[in-house]
């Protein structure tokens, strides 16, 4: 007769996210639920502002709320990098821009995989740079590299 398994596996070191995040409007709130199931401290903009999923919240409202709650902002809106540069630096909100694919979009499953990988990389960077607000961009391919935008990096107060 075999013994009952202790439930331990040898799949490598356990990863525990260290930071808090907000997923922007264009990213489905369901992704925040899925990532929370994997122990991420993450909310959607809709949850943060208690609005319906079909309602939008302006970036000008999101940025100060992220600062207030100590959350990094994760967005697909690469234009926000230029449109809200001053507000992001004023509020010292670390931001991760995920470049959307060029043409046909991507499936929900693929986007979730890209998000999980990008967040893992970004969380590590934020941990190494705790004293700074970090600004990064990553492509929408699973093997994409995280690129920091050093000219935006600012020391925290």
Measured distance CA(63)–CA(60) in Å, rounded? 6
Question: Whole-prediction pTM value?
Answer: 0.84
The answer to whether 69 touches 57, Cβ cutoff 8 Å, is no
Widest CA span in the chain: 67
Model confidence pLDDT, tens digit, residues 88-135: 888 999 999 998 776 677 788 888 999 999 999 999 999 998 888 889
Q: How far apart are CA 102 and CA 49, in angstroms?
A: 30
pLDDT at 13 over 80: no
């Amino acid at each position: 007769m075999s013994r009952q398994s202790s439930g331990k596996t040898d799949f490598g070191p356990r990863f525990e996210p260290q930071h808090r995040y907000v997923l922007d409007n264009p990213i489905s709130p369901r992704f925040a639920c899925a990532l929370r199931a994997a122990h991420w401290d993450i909310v959607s903009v809709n949850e943060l502002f208690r609005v319906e999923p079909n309602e939008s919240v302006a970036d000008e409202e999101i940025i100060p709320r992220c600062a207030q709650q100590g959350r990094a902002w994760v967005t697909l809106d690469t234009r926000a990098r230029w449109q809200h540069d001053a507000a992001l630096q004023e509020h010292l909100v670390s931001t991760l821009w995920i470049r959307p694919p060029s043409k046909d979009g991507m499936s929900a499953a693929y986007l979730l995989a890209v998000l999980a990988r990008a967040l893992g990389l970004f969380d590590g960077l934020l941990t190494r740079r705790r004293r700074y607000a970090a600004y990064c961009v990553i492509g929408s391919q699973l093997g994409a590299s995280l690129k920091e935008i050093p000219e935006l990096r600012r020391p925290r107060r």
